[in-house]
Structure 1
């Protein structure tokens, strides 16, 4: 469901999604959006008033150092900065050439799914499994709504939210449809992001909508690959440190009424 906060164009609550066991993801537990660095104090207050308790910021060190999260020092909100890129390059401006959706992605990905975007997302598990597991644990441990975001809320955010939803039994097609919903706003989100000094140097003039709008296929390819090769998303994450206790905590947070 869409949440209304001035300045956020890609904010939504994942509540209402059904699982295969008949449970439902509860509203006010898991949100996703673009970054909040340009928001007014009133907009930040509105997020807290609607139940925000945790912010999971997946931007790189370079992004965060240039445009700090307004929630990093805010009392009453737990802030988790968890980059998905290697620490050796994490504070380098060149990392934006890999992290942002409107530039040519130069990551050397291993083709495993037949979908270039999906293969790029799976690299997060190889590059920073610690951050992926920590992000999922932050969602599971939130007292209220956990807001997951990156720069525009498509790639890093979409991958993390997809894993969380898959872990509690939401169907692949439902997850992929939510990922594709970002297509409705992404052109405007990118144009807005270019107002932030950290990202304005990346501004490329006209945005090609066909190049940046997500479709369901990458997420379907990821979830299918993890299930075929490991048996389930949960089984794929277990060797990376995801435990039974983590799973129980995530189910309680997302599903318990």
Structure 2
């Protein structure tokens, strides 16, 4: 590979940083400031959705606060969901340190980590790499955006093809044994009474992280409508930032029509529906998915309730 081509690919990887796959570096797209774009720490954006305001990540939330069918409520301060933590500022790492985390789980594949960077975490907190497949999406985007070819970009992403790709990815959350194992291991760690507060994330904190959060909340007895609202909230937290990414790609000349990326940047009900329909087809119902698909026994499910619901 020529040196010029290597440079183009590396640059493209950096610019990809806020697609479906993660935030742009501050130098390429201004990160929203904590006061301007985020509610203060502890403020409720919705009745039960609480964001942790950071400068280098925009989709970090405490999963606590949701009401359950049993009349309980999910305990705050125990499980956090996030987008990539590779661009946290020193002030951000101080905020994260204040969460008291004992484990951080990274669902990104190695190629994402290579381009976007390793997590920046407080001293003493090591990341656990637990990759969940993206069906080659990141590599596809590196190639298609790096080409700068609007015809090729339309052929790959236009005409509903980006949406279809996303639905396929969501189905593999259910069908792929390795993916199921990664989610199941994370749930067992969350259920472990000896395990302190845990954070899990992918790149944008919306698809792999979104499915993990949906499954956890439903396993805790949170109504599906609330679990879906938590899933869809990524559009609120990421919307303005992702629009800046599209603008940057257009100004850079890499994409004439960056709106082709919107289906990859957003979460959508039909993506989630693709996964839940696959779940029903393979396991009959959500309980079957938990027990036969993820291999969680009744003891583990009871431990989740005991630890996380008050």
Q: TM-score range by the shorter chain?
A: 0.7 to 0.9
Q: Distance in 1 between the 2:91 and 2:224 partners? A: 36
Q: Structure 1 residues 125-134 or 141-150, which shifts more?
A: 141-150
Aligned match for 1:62, one of 103, 111, 122: 111
Q: Distance in 2 between the 1:119 and 1:167 partners? A: 23
- Unaligned runs of 5+ residues in structure 2 are 1-49, 143-152, 158-163, 247-253
Query: Residues 70 and 25 of structure 1: is their aligned pair in 2 closer, same or farther, counting only changes over 3 Å?
Result: same
How many residue pairs were aligned? 233
Q: Distance in 2 between the 1:152 and 1:28 partners? A: 21
Q: Structure 1 residues 184-193 or 24-33, which shifts more?
A: 184-193
Q: Is the 8 A contact 2:170 2:274 kept in 1?
A: no
**Structure 1 residue ranges (4+ consecutive) displaced by more than 6 angstroms after TM superposition:** 191-194
TM-score, reference length from structure 1: 0.74
Aligned-pair distance for 1:35? 0.5
Map of 1:246 onto structure 2:
300
Map of 1:136 onto structure 2:
187
Q: Which has more radius of gyration?
A: 2
Q: Secondary structure at the match of 1:52?
A: coil
The RMSD of aligned alpha carbons is: 3.6
Query: Residues 156 and 28 of structure 1: is their aligned pair in 2 closer, same or farther, counting only changes over 3 Å?
Result: same
Q: Structure 1 residues 169-178 or 229-238, which shifts more?
A: 229-238
Q: Is the 8 A contact 1:152 1:190 kept in 2?
A: no
TM-score, reference length from structure 2: 0.63
Q: Secondary structure at the match of 2:227?
A: helix
Q: Distance in 1 between the 2:245 and 2:199 partners? A: 18
Q: Distance in 2 between the 1:139 and 1:193 partners? A: 34
Map of 1:162 onto structure 2:
214
Deviations 1:10-55 (A, max 9, x none): 1111211111111111111221121010111221121121332321
Map of 1:10 onto structure 2:
59
Higher helix share: 2
> In the alignment, does 2:260 pair up with 1:219?
no
